[in-house]
Amino acid sequence: MKPKMIGDKMTVLLTALFFLTGLFFTGGLAAQTTVSGTVKDPKGHPVRGASISIKDSYDGAVSDSLGAFHFSSADKGTFTISVSNIGYNPYEQPITLGGGPVVLHFVIKEQLSELKAVTITAGSFTAGDAKRGAVLSSLDVATTAGSNADITAALKTLPGAQQVGEQEGLFVRGGAGYEAKQYIDGTLVNNPYYSSVPDIAQRGRFSPFLFKGTVFSTGGYSALYGQALSSVVLLESIDLPEKSEVDASISPIVLGVGTQQLSSNKRSSYGFSYNYVNVGLYFKAVKQIPDYFQMPQFHNGDANFRIKTKNGGIIKYYTTFAYSNLGLRRQDWDSLNYKDAFSLTNHNWYNNLSWREYLNNGWKMDLGASYSTNLDNIGQQLQDAFNRPKSFADSIFWMNGKQFGIDQRQDLSQIKAVFDKKLGGISSIRFGSEYMYAYNYQKFRSPVYPTMDSMYKFKDNFNAVFAESDIFLTNELAAKLGVRYEHSSVINKSDIAPRVSLAYKTGPEAQVSLAYGIFYQKPENSQLFYTTNVGFTKATHYIINYQKMSKDRIFRLEAYYKKYEDLIKTVPVNYFYSTFNNSGSGYAKGIELFWRDKKTIKDFDYWVSYSYLDTKRDYLNYTAQLMPSFAATHTASLVMKKFFTKIKSGVNLTYSYATGRPYYNFMLNNGAGGTKYNLAESGKTKDFNALNFSAEYVPGIGKAKAKSFLVLFASVSNVLGYNAVYGYNFSYSGLYKQAIVPPANRFYFIGCFISWGVDRSQDAINNNL
């Protein structure tokens, strides 16, 4: 019995307990409090998907597409209710439950976010793989027909740049080539191109594959940069390579080998490469107009190391050494019996060391140092029909003036520091300073007039301090305010350059930007050799830009006005000697259009650029404000790329067009008013057309874990053989003019690139899938 009794009692007890515990968690059911309401943003738009919850309980809800929510809770007392949603500032408030239904209307504010915020696009084309707003990637540069992997050539297919074929450099919006500057990792590159050869444009020294990002600013650029009246090209070198690899390039023109070694902990890497370019074979096969007595050859070597620091920063060092020589003869334009023989030997050494570090409290530091030295040995001679040197009587001094030797050297050492601080949210300020020490000399030798032998040199200590701030008022409205102070010791002048830009988002993918800025630039070395009694040249930019950009399409429309002041004017003293002053002036205005579309046709990518330019300037030996000889009124490019996945090949076409450019013959006259230039003849060249073609075959695409990777590449520039005329050289008499034409009508290239140890097909897929 006893056990039964116990059992009975237990049953009763357990039943009671069961009810009791049951009450613990169901007892509240009778007294549920309903909580309902809405979540909206300050503009009154509903916020969908916001989470509303009573802290430390299961109770809560998520707002629906109308921003409404509804839930009930069994709790009683005072609790905290919180509202949260990604991209919005969280919100909390106390809530009393148990006293009847609660209705709450929450307003939550969107957080400022770098991904959503507007960016300033006036005057700037961002090219790069990672960055949003990218216009061109390094593979785009390589696969733009006609560029032959030259960064500048690819940038020429963007609006703002002129189709100048007889000189290296970017001629941007009525600016001369030397008014555009290149920066690598924040520091200025003194000699970005191979040394000039008269009337033949030279390539840039740097491969597009060295860089992960490129910004091509056609005006209104940041206060961090200066000394460029029209444009800056900002190149950011790549960080660590993905894998160790060895690569080789083989073509009738160039042979190269290189390696990149990534440490096993993937914190550092080093690499070096060497290539040798000799166009001898090619020039034998494809007739050139000039007669090359020394076939152009180039030795290029480079080395680098990169180290990741603890806090996510990186130290990068890059050095490149180049040696080249060439010699060519062309018909003299004063006498059909003689030839001009030009020879050039160049040594160039470039070093760049940069350190980016993330410090505490939102500070970022960018330090850069660079050193470069460039030596040109130039010879210019008149030769007769048998290629023998020829000298002339004093009475035909202009012929003797074409016989000389020049040894010139440009050294540039610089350091730059930029500090960047995030100010609550995404606004930031940055400031810094740069110092450059330049040493330049030029030795001139005249075999005919030894008394004219001369040595010009100067040193310049150049300082700049700058500050800039990015202010985001909302995700839709941003401003960038900057100012830059510069001092150059050689001219002993200072300047202050303000820069302002604004961007306003007009729609989810569309925005309007405005930019204004003053830009100063030191006179060129060739002018400073003769006089240092000159000041900065000056340009003021006003830009308005509209951009609509979606994943696969970009549309840009930009208008600008530029005012030039204090441009350098040549003051002739005699035929051989001139001095300079700042009495020049000018303007440029225009409209530019850009459209890129990767979407409409599958595997087909194209872009169209159009530039309208109205510019005049009075500079150098110009007799008045005239349209400069490098400027065309209308310039357009159509770039097309199509990849055929089935045959693992791509073909690319570029068509470029520019209306004729003006040419002038300014003759030196000894008149009543002293020695001065007169405009003896002017005209316009015919329109420029070029259709360029290239193709690549990438058999390794998709072969996972392939040990080697091969790319075959071929290109033809100016397929249709259009005869381009870039301008004219005038005889001393002014009676004869000789057209400036490319050394050959077409340029062919075929090459093979192989890499071992890394699957580059990823790159190819990125670009062409």
Partner 1 sequence: MQKMILALVLLITMEASAQNDKYTQVMLKNIALLDSAKSIDELQSLAGNFERIGDAEKTKWLPYYYAALAQTWVGWSPATKDKDANAAKIKAYLDKAEAIEKNAELYAVENMAATQQMLMDPQTRWATNGKDASVALQNGLKIDPNNPRLYYLQGMSLFNTPPQFGGGKDKAKPVFQKSLDLYKSATPQPLAPKWGQKQTEDMLAQCQ
**Can you give the binding site for partner 1, defined by CB under 8 A?**
6, 9-10, 13-14, 17-18, 20-21, 24-25, 48-49, 51-53, 55-62, 64-65, 86-87, 115, 129-130, 134, 551-552, 598, 645-646, 648, 701-704, 761-762, 765-769
Nearest distance from C-beta of residue 185 to partner 1, angstroms: 22
8 A C-beta contact, residue 719 and residue 737: no
By beta-carbon proximity to partner 1, the closer residue of 10 and 473 is 10
Among all chains, which residue has been given the structure tokens 């995030």? 422
Q: Phi, psi (5° rounding) for residue 540?
A: -115, 130
d(Cα 242, Cα 4) in Å, to the nearest integer?
78
DSSP output for 465-520: EEEEEEEESSSSEEEEEEEEEEEETTTTEEEEEEEEEEEEE-SSSEEEEEEEEEEE
The strand pair at 634-644 and 649-658 is best described as antiparallel
8 A C-beta contact, residue 308 and residue 316: no
For residue 600, give every residue at least 6 positions away whose Cβ sits within 8 Å of its Cβ, in sequence order, or none.
none
By beta-carbon proximity to partner 1, the closer residue of 59 and 179 is 59
Nearest distance from C-beta of residue 678 to partner 1, angstroms: 56
Nearest distance from C-beta of residue 607 to partner 1, angstroms: 15
By beta-carbon proximity to partner 1, the closer residue of 18 and 363 is 18
Largest CA distance in the chain: 147
Nearest distance from C-beta of residue 134 to partner 1, angstroms: 8
DSSP, res 524: P
Among all chains, which residue has been given the structure tokens 């080789």? 248
By beta-carbon proximity to partner 1, the closer residue of 92 and 453 is 92
Nearest distance from C-beta of residue 161 to partner 1, angstroms: 24
| Lookup: tokens for 249 | 């390039």
Nearest distance from C-beta of residue 79 to partner 1, angstroms: 12
Residue type, 399: M
Nearest distance from C-beta of residue 536 to partner 1, angstroms: 41
By beta-carbon proximity to partner 1, the closer residue of 46 and 757 is 46
State the burial class of residue 395 (Cβ atoms within 10 Å of its Cβ: 0-12, 13-18, 19+).
exposed
H or E segment to which residue 331 belongs: strand 314-331
d(Cα 257, Cα 517) in Å, to the nearest integer?
44
8 A C-beta contact, residue 491 and residue 534: yes
Q: Phi, psi (5° rounding) for residue 478?
A: -135, 150
Nearest distance from C-beta of residue 50 to partner 1, angstroms: 9
d(Cα 326, Cα 737) in Å, to the nearest integer?
26
By beta-carbon proximity to partner 1, the closer residue of 163 and 237 is 237
For residue 632, give every residue at least 6 positions away whose Cβ sits within 8 Å of its Cβ, in sequence order, or none.
162, 163, 613, 658, 659, 660, 661, 688
Nearest distance from C-beta of residue 503 to partner 1, angstroms: 21
By beta-carbon proximity to partner 1, the closer residue of 104 and 315 is 104
By beta-carbon proximity to partner 1, the closer residue of 20 and 601 is 20
H or E segment to which residue 73 belongs: strand 68-73
Nearest distance from C-beta of residue 261 to partner 1, angstroms: 21
- β-bridge partners, 418: 366, 432
By beta-carbon proximity to partner 1, the closer residue of 139 and 322 is 139
| Lookup: tokens for 114 | 């770098």
Nearest distance from C-beta of residue 211 to partner 1, angstroms: 16
Q: How far is residue 55 from each of residues 60, 79, 407, measured CA to CA in Å?
A: 9, 7, 79
Nearest distance from C-beta of residue 262 to partner 1, angstroms: 16
State the burial class of residue 180 (Cβ atoms within 10 Å of its Cβ: 0-12, 13-18, 19+).
buried
d(Cα 471, Cα 121) in Å, to the nearest integer?
15
Nearest distance from C-beta of residue 56 to partner 1, angstroms: 6
8 A C-beta contact, residue 155 and residue 656: no
d(Cα 545, Cα 514) in Å, to the nearest integer?
6
By beta-carbon proximity to partner 1, the closer residue of 129 and 597 is 129
By beta-carbon proximity to partner 1, the closer residue of 67 and 169 is 67
Q: Phi, psi (5° rounding) for residue 431?
A: -155, 165
By beta-carbon proximity to partner 1, the closer residue of 65 and 264 is 65
By beta-carbon proximity to partner 1, the closer residue of 143 and 410 is 143
Nearest distance from C-beta of residue 20 to partner 1, angstroms: 8
d(Cα 208, Cα 235) in Å, to the nearest integer?
9
DSSP output for 148-162: TT-HHHHHTTSTTB-
Nearest distance from C-beta of residue 704 to partner 1, angstroms: 4
